[in-house]
Amino acid sequence: MSVMDTSEGVFMGMPRARAVALTRWAIVATAALALELYGRFFADPAFMQPVSAILRAWIDPVLSDARIIRALMDAVVEIAVAYALSIICGATIGIAIGVSNFARKSFLPIVLLLYAIPQVTLMPLFILIFGLGAAGKIAFGFSHGVFPVIVNVVAGMRNMNPLYLRAVQSMGGTRFDTLRHVIFPNMVPAFFVGLRLSMTLTLLGVILAELYVSTGGIGYFTRLFAENFNPAPLFALIGSLATIAILFNSLVRVAERRLTPGARAPGKLNLSGAKSR
Amino acid sequence: MTVGDTLIAPQASVNPAISIRNVTQRFAPAGGADGVLALDNVSLDIAPGEFVCLLGPSGCGKSTLLNIVGGLFKPSSGEVTVAGRRVDGAPHPDEIAFVFQESTLFPWYTIIENFRIALKFQGAPKSERDDRAMEALQAVGMAGFARHYPSQLSIGMRQRVNLARGICVRTNILLMVEPFAALDEQSRMVLGEDLSILLAKTGKTIVFVTHSLAEAVFLSDRIVVMTARPGRIKTIVNVNEPHPRAPDFMLEPRFGEMRNDLFALLRDEIRQAMALQRDPLKVRA
Amino acid sequence: MSAGFAQRAIQLAFLILAGGAWYALTQARVVSPLFLPPPQAVYATLTRLLATPQFWSAVQVTLTTIAKAYGIAIVSGVFVGYLITRSRFWTDVLEPVIAGLFTIPITLFFPLFILFFGIGPASKVAYGATYGFFPIALNTIAGLAHADERYLRAARSMGASGFDTFRHVLLPGALPVLLTGLRVGFFICFASVLGGEALSSIAGVGRNIALSAELMESARMYAWIAFVICTAVTLNFLMTFIENRAASYEAAER
């Protein structure tokens, strides 16, 4: 059985970890090459263009058009603001709910109910209320990002070994000491699980709203390029946004690695958010 | 009986149930260096119906040896024969049954389903499976829990059932890896007593890995004391007491003496093992 | 008064308060009915909507799209996940790639789906299926590749064949994680199809919400939203119930 394979050592004459990384890059390179060849020789240029053409379009017009740069910068600011708001509000609400059993049992079901709503249906409403500018996009990103923070903060405060609490009490610690030295450090890994998921969802919310508003910003340019059957700059614009998304995600990961006390946090992605086993 | 009666050479049995010959196990590390020598040239014969206990400090390779005998690991060199057949990294479920340290009852099946699966894996005819399962459950006094899920039982009950699962496949050999480790001391004594009675009846050959000195003395015919890594046989202690053994055996002076002798034998090895844990690269020549 | 009762009372009070605030704000004309129409108007619109064939044809379009997208996501996700876990090496190579891609909002690529598949339901099927593929594939991998080593060893010692091990050990062990993946995948499909329809389409529930907003028919938009939310919450309860049932052996643990 392959899963019982215990050979961790050497793979094709190199350390296994290097072989894994190398294969990963080989897949990326092969995919890029395949796209290039497909785009160059087989594809309808109205729908698909080779990677080289996309790279050219990335330099011009995407990176040389001040309006596109502006739109990308706006998106970055919106993501950052929405994410910051999600963390601040999410952590505050999460701590308020998680601090006592009574509060948790009373309010967590309400939060979970709101979390279960497909927020995308509210998108037109958000834009209607907050307008076509940055405010609507930030609000919509925030509505996506805040819930995973709340839920994971509450979970992190709950998954607490009662022995630690008793230890602090026995050493004469106050209630504040308990929060400061036991509950918060213990919460950090779950908090970062929430932050990672929150980043993914904030990105989703802001970009959804950006695409929805087609009168300006990124939504305008994607529509412009798509309607003119000009796929190279469209791909380049999307690629730029993907890069921004990757950078934001990496930022969260670096912060997690730096700021988690003691052991590294479990690297597993909490897909459901609500359910941390 | 004292340590003076020990046998270092493999016992020359006419028809051993299990024959271990010069088994060496080396685990290759990730870096490509020499690796860890877990077992070094171990030879041992185990007679049919014998209850043998492997005793030694953590990391001495006793579990590895058991896994090799059971065909779960392939030794780096040396060979193991069971009932005249060579075990070479492939399990022989018709000859050997395992009872693992952790309760390895599949949590997604009820107790009776767990037994059916074990019997199905072994290739037992479908018509017999339920009868054999119930018989084994009755033997450990757990027949009333056949339709429960493992998670609905206490750890002690689970371990009883786990033991019964090893018995229901009716192999001649039972290999047990610290089967009582998860239990509290009282429960393990009661379960040990039950085991002694049960196995005296079935006449199985048993190899047993444990950390508990009392358990080793109470249950075994022979105790194989192993050294810290690399695992070698340091000495073999005989326990001359017929099965089934009553709890009174534990009250006899010789029980305490044997336990103390074993501890004296093990103490240096345990210190060595602890030193190895602090500095894993230091291997005694 | 027991704590459980008090908590239910607080939850109920929250809902009543929210509803009451909605009613009071609209009655007092504090907010424009354009942003927040009165609840009775939304209710009236909803009952009227429910009686129109246009409503049900829009629901049918969306449900068909979701069903197709989800079907493709399940088949491809489980199949790809299974194939990858056949080898430990490919699991190590590809699992982080799929997990990494999933952290990028696939929504980014939505314009490409429109470009390739047009403005009709096909683009929403493709978009929903792509989004739903990720959690299903990732949870299939998580369930199959990270199976408990103890159970596998026990099965091997009992002489289980490769297929037996898959059927009786790997699959039941992976089932809880797999079902979570299917549930999460469903809601991602659901939300993606609605979102896709709102972004760019000619029919469907999402399109109707967006259209109502464009036409400033707030009561109509709220009615649609209320319908979707009720559906989603009901489905969520239903799927969580099925999931807990199917993995009921876990419930008794701890």
Chain C contacts to B (CB-CB under 8 A) = 150-151, 153-161, 164, 168-169, 172-173, 175, 247, 249-253
Domain ranges of chain C: 1-31, 42-251
Distance CA C35, CA B51 (A): 82
| Closest chain B C-alpha to A274 CA, distance in angstroms | 24
DSSP reduced 3-state for B223: strand
Backbone phi and psi for residue C194, each to the nearest 5 degrees, phi listed first = -65, -45
Kindly indicate the confidence band of residue B93, based on its pLDDT and cuts at 50, 70 and 90.
confident
Contact partners, residue B186, CB within 8 Å, separation at least 6 = none
Distance CA B168, CA B180 (A): 19
pLDDT tens per residue across span C80-122: 999 999 888 999 999 999 998 998 999 999 999 998 898 999 9
Q: What is the pLDDT of chain A when averaged over all its residues?
A: 84
Q: What is the pLDDT of chain B when averaged over all its residues?
A: 83
Distance CA B275, CA C3 (A): 54
Better-scored residue on pLDDT, B201 or A195 = A195
pLDDT tens per residue across span A133-170: 899 999 999 999 999 999 999 998 887 777 787 888 78
**In the prediction, which pLDDT does B203 show?**
83
Report the b/e string of C67-93 with b at 16+ CB within 10 A.
ebbbebbbebbbebbbebbeebbbbbb
Contact partners, residue A151, CB within 8 Å, separation at least 6 = A94, A108, A111, A112, A115, A194, A273, A274
Residue B39 bridge partners (DSSP):
B25, B231
Stretch B200-226: mean pLDDT, rounded?
88
Distance CA B66, CA B72 (A): 9
| Closest chain B C-alpha to C246 CA, distance in angstroms | 10
Of B108, B121, B122, the CB nearest to C172: B108
Confidence check: pLDDT of A39 > 50: yes
Q: Using the beta-carbon criterion (under 8 Å), do C225 and A122 form an inter-chain contact?
A: yes
Q: Is B169 on the interface with C (CB under 8 A)?
A: yes
Residue with tokens 């891609």: C101
Stretch B139-151: mean pLDDT, rounded?
89
State the Rg of chain A over Cα: 23
Q: How many CB atoms lie within 10 A of CB A70?
A: 12
Least confident span in A208-212, A256-260, B7-11, C138-142: B7-11
Q: Which residues of chain C have pLDDT under 50?
A: 251-254
Task: Please say whether the dihedral angle defined by the alpha carbons of residues A71, A73, A75 and A77, taken in this order, is positive or negative.
Answer: negative
Q: Using the beta-carbon criterion (under 8 Å), do A249 and C103 form an inter-chain contact?
A: yes
Q: Are C181 and A271 in contact (CB under 8 A)?
A: yes
Confidence check: pLDDT of A265 > 50: no
Q: What is the pTM assigned to this prediction?
A: 0.81
Q: How many CB atoms lie within 10 A of CB C219?
A: 22
CB-based burial of residue A153 (10 Å sphere; 0-12 exposed, 13-18 middle, 19+ buried)? buried
Q: Is A20 on the interface with C (CB under 8 A)?
A: yes
Where does C42-251 sit in CATH, by number?
A: 1.10.3720.10
Share of chain B above pLDDT 90, in %: 13
Residue B239: name the closest of B229, B252, B226 by CA: B252
- Could you tell me which chain B residue has the CA closest to the CA of C160? B121
Kindly indicate the confidence band of residue B281, based on its pLDDT and cuts at 50, 70 and 90.
low
Confidence check: pLDDT of B108 > 50: yes
Confidence check: pLDDT of B30 > 70: no
Contact partners, residue A33, CB within 8 Å, separation at least 6 = none
Distance CA C157, CA B122 (A): 9
| Closest chain C C-alpha to A182 CA, distance in angstroms | 24
Q: Are B43 and B23 in contact (CB under 8 A)?
A: yes
Q: How many CB atoms lie within 10 A of CB C120?
A: 14
Residue A226: name the closest of C196, C202, C113, C203 by CA: C113
Contacts of C164 in chain B (CB under 8 A): 120-121
Confidence check: pLDDT of A88 > 60: yes
State the Rg of chain C over Cα: 23
C window 94-153, beta carbon within 8 A of A: 94, 96-97, 99, 102-105, 107-112, 114-116, 135, 138-139, 142, 144-145, 147, 149, 152-153
**Strands B36-46 and B18-27: what pairing?**
antiparallel
Q: Which chains touch B (3 or more CB pairs under 8 A)?
A: A, C
User: Omega of the bond prior to A61 within 30 degrees of 0, cis?
Assistant: yes
Contact partners, residue B63, CB within 8 Å, separation at least 6 = B177, B178, B209
**In the prediction, which pLDDT does B102 show?**
62
**In the prediction, which pLDDT does C248 show?**
64
Distance CA B137, CA B147 (A): 12
Q: Can you state the percent helix, strand and coil of chain B, rounding each to 5?
A: 40, 20, 40
Contacts of B31 in chain A (CB under 8 A): 15
Better-scored residue on pLDDT, A33 or B197 = A33
At the fourth CATH level, which superfamily is domain B32-59+67-95+173-181+202-285?
A: P-loop containing nucleotide triphosphate hydrolases (3.40.50.300)
- In DSSP notation, B61-86 reads SHHHHHHHHTTSS--SEEEEEETTEE
Stretch B143-160: mean pLDDT, rounded?
88
Residue C133 bridge partners (DSSP):
none
Kindly indicate the confidence band of residue B5, based on its pLDDT and cuts at 50, 70 and 90.
very low
**In the prediction, which pLDDT does B285 show?**
41
Confidence check: pLDDT of A57 > 80: yes
Most confident region among A171-185, B90-104, B167-181, C198-212 by mean pLDDT: C198-212
Most confident region among A42-51, B216-225, C25-34 by mean pLDDT: B216-225
Q: Using the beta-carbon criterion (under 8 Å), do A16 and B28 form an inter-chain contact?
A: no
**In the prediction, which pLDDT does A183 show?**
83
Q: Using the beta-carbon criterion (under 8 Å), do A211 and C85 form an inter-chain contact?
A: no
Question: Chain-centre distance of CA C122, in angstroms?
Answer: 19
Confidence check: pLDDT of B272 > 90: no
Mutation site for C-interface testing, chosen from A120, A137, A195 by largest number of C Cβ within 10 Å: A120
Q: Using the beta-carbon criterion (under 8 Å), do C169 and B106 form an inter-chain contact?
A: yes
Mutation site for A-interface testing, chosen from C5, C89, C95, C103 by largest number of A Cβ within 10 Å: C103
- Could you tell me which chain B residue has the CA closest to the CA of A4? B72
Confidence check: pLDDT of B9 > 70: no
For A122, the token pair is 């509210």
